[in-house]
């Protein structure tokens, strides 16, 4: 019986879909390895947004004229497309300005529930002194600080699942931390520093056993892994368009219908109400009750074009390609003297841990910013700094790292040029 082959894609051909990648930087062809921060946009996304703005631009859910009706149809079709991309129903998807806004929406909505807003439906989600919120040591600040603030407002205690030396989560500690006092478990699907795919199924199961709400940061998984949020069983999840070939200024919050229906709104104003008097207001059902104000119409329509582009390439093929590039980076970095990889995990059977095409590392004797500038001078764009994950860097005893993150438009040649560049950093700065 033959072994099925992994799906493949032609990254060099796909690169032609991205106008920005055609340029030279510092006299060299651009090698863009910063997609973990923001991905490039294919022409179809750019053209889709421009076409809407030049042909159909109008406010949605408000006007009765032709353009308003067309805009509303396109806007809601976009919701259905993006929701379907992550295995959700359209009514389970709330438009936000990005994942940070999505996660803050959840935290502040839970805070509103904790002061009696939305009762009695929201009462089961209210937090009080003695309750616990569990996060991981690997979180992006956007999935840490909102929970710090919620704990401060409600008197709940914030607890942390540690990260082991190889970058994996300490699941033994997780099992001890998540218990009868736990009300929320918030975690990243894929670390934006380590590139490792966390065992979120186990975390969700532990949280369900404890009766806790689960909140997942899917920013680094939605563009790179096949994702079915309903099948995964997570309660709420956040992701951003600009990390998945889409425009800036829009993201989404997925939520199970019964949870979105029960939670009180966070932002209030126009577009999310039924009846308003001088003393009180009634709110529309979810998702509209979480979408106060002017809607990101052109961005939503372009976001839909982005997920259709990803679907057209094939998410399994994207994942296989990027995972292979990620392992290529890790294996190459291991061979370079003076380079320490963050999250260089190996499974018990000796195989490489599941990851996306992302690797962060420290160069002995060279500050991350200097290393990044050395690579930039060669046309290689990487991220440097703490990547909005200061506690995780502190866990590894450093303040900053260099991060290379690949996408579907990166080739083996890109990775080889990057590794060649990294190999020359220490000698250039005289520390080899």
Q: Residue 342: which CATH number?
A: 3.90.1150.10
What's the pLDDT at 421? 98
pLDDT for the residue numbered 348: 81
Confidence of residue 5 (pLDDT cuts 50, 70, 90): low
Q: Are residues 344 and 233 in the same domain?
A: no
Distances (CA, A) of 111 to 107, 154, 161: 6, 7, 23
Do the domain assignments include residue 3? no
Binned at pLDDT 50, 70 and 90, residue 7 comes out as: confident
Domain match, 405 and 304 both? no
Residue 8 has a pLDDT of 85
Give the residues across from 362 on adjacent strands.
340
Tens digit of each residue's pLDDT (9 = 90 or more) over 339-367: 999 999 988 888 888 999 999 999 999 99
Q: Does the structure show a pLDDT above 70 at 77? A: yes
Please tell me the total count of domains within the chain: 2
Residues labelled as active-site residues: 388
Distance CA 143, CA 150 (A): 12
Query: What pLDDT is stored for residue 3 in this prediction?
Result: 47
Range 148-152 average pLDDT = 98
Q: Per residue in 109-141, pLDDT tens?
A: 999 999 999 999 999 999 999 999 999 999 999
Q: Which residue among 257, 286, 310 closes a domain?
A: 310
Pair 134, 276 in one domain: yes
Asked if residues 354 and 198 have their Cβ atoms less than 8 Å apart, the reply is no
Q: Given a cut of 60, is residue 315 above it in pLDDT? A: yes
The residue-averaged pLDDT of 318-335 equals 97
* pLDDT at residue number 404: 98
User: Based on the domain organization, do 270 and 247 belong to the same domain?
Assistant: yes
Q: Are residues 224 and 263 in the same domain?
A: yes
Band of the pLDDT at 1, cuts 50, 70, 90?
A: very low
Question: Does the residue 218 lie in any domain?
Answer: yes
Same domain flag for 326 and 280: no
Please check whether residue 99 lies inside any domain of the structure: yes
| Total-model pTM | 0.96
| Boundary residue ending a domain (250, 280, 310) | 310
In this structure, the answer to whether residues 207 and 257 fall within a common structural domain is yes
pLDDT exceeds 80 at position 432: no
86 in a structural domain: yes
Q: Does residue 221 surpass a pLDDT of 60?
A: yes
Residues 6+ apart with CB under 8 A from 72: 60, 61
Residues 305 and 335 in one domain: no
Q: Mark whether 127 and 181 lie in a shared domain.
A: yes
Both 285 and 348 in one domain: the answer is: no
Q: Is residue 266, in this structure, part of any structural domain at all?
A: yes
Q: Which CATH number do you get for residue 74?
A: 3.40.640.10
> Are residues 87 and 189 part of one domain?
yes
> Is there a domain that residue 279 lies in?
yes
Q: What share of the chain in percent tops pLDDT 90? A: 95
- Number of Cβ atoms within 10 Å of the Cβ of 427: 11
Span 199-207, average pLDDT:
98
One domain, residues 197 and 304:
yes
202 domain-assigned = yes
Domain around 187: 48-310
Domain ends where: 268, 287, 310?
310
* Domain-embedded: residue 4: no
């Amino acid at each position: 019986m033959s072994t099925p082959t992994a799906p493949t894609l032609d990254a060099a051909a796909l690169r032609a879909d991205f106008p920005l990648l055609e340029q030279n930087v510092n006299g060299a062809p651009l090698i863009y390895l910063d997609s973990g921060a923001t991905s490039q946009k294919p022409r179809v996304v750019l053209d889709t947004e421009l076409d809407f703005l030049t042909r159909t631009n109008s406010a949605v859910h408000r006007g009765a004229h032709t353009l308003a009706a067309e805009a509303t149809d396109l806007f809601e079709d976009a919701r259905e497309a993006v929701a379907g991309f992550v295995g959700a129903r359209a009514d389970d998807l709330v438009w936000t300005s990005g994942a940070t806004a999505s996660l803050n929406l959840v935290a502040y909505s839970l805070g509103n529930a904790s002061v009696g807003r939305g009762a009695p439906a929201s009462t089961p989600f209210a937090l009080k002194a003695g309750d616990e919120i569990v996060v991981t040591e690997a979180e992006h600040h956007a999935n840490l600080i909102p929970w710090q603030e919620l704990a401060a407002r409600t008197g709940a205690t914030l607890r942390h699942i540690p990260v082991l030396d190889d970058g994996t989560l300490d699941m033994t500690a997780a099992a001890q931390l998540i218990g009868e006092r736990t009300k929320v478990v918030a975690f990243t699907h894929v670390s934006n520093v380590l590139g490792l795919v966390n065992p979120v199924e186990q975390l969700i199961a532990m949280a369900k056993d404890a009766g806790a709400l689960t909140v997942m940061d899917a920013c680094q998984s939605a563009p790179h892994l096949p994702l079915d949020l309903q099948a995964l069983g997570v309660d709420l999840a956040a992701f951003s368009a600009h990390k998945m070939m889409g425009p800036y200024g829009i993201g989404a919050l997925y939520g199970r219908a019964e949870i979105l229906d029960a939670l009180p709104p966070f932002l209030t104003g126009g577009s999310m109400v039924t009846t308003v008097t001088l003393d009180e207001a009634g709110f529309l059902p979810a998702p509209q009750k979480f979408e106060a104000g002017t809607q990101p119409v052109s961005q939503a329509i372009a976001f839909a074009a982005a997920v259709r582009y990803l679907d057209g390439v094939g998410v399994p093929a994207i994942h296989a390609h990027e995972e292979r590039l990620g392992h290529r980076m890790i294996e190459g970095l291991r061979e370079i003297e003076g380079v320490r990889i963050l999250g260089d995990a190996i499974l018990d059977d000796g195989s490489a841990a599941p990851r996306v095409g992302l690797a962060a590392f420290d160069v002995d004797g060279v500050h991350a910013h200097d290393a990044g500038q050395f690579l930039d001078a060669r046309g290689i764009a990487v991220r440097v700094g703490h990547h909005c994950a200061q506690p995780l860097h502190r866990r590894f005893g450093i303040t900053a790292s260099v991060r290379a993150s690949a996408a579907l438009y990166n080739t083996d040649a890109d990775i080889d040029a990057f590794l060649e560049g990294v190999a020359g950093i220490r000698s250039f700065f005289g520390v080899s």
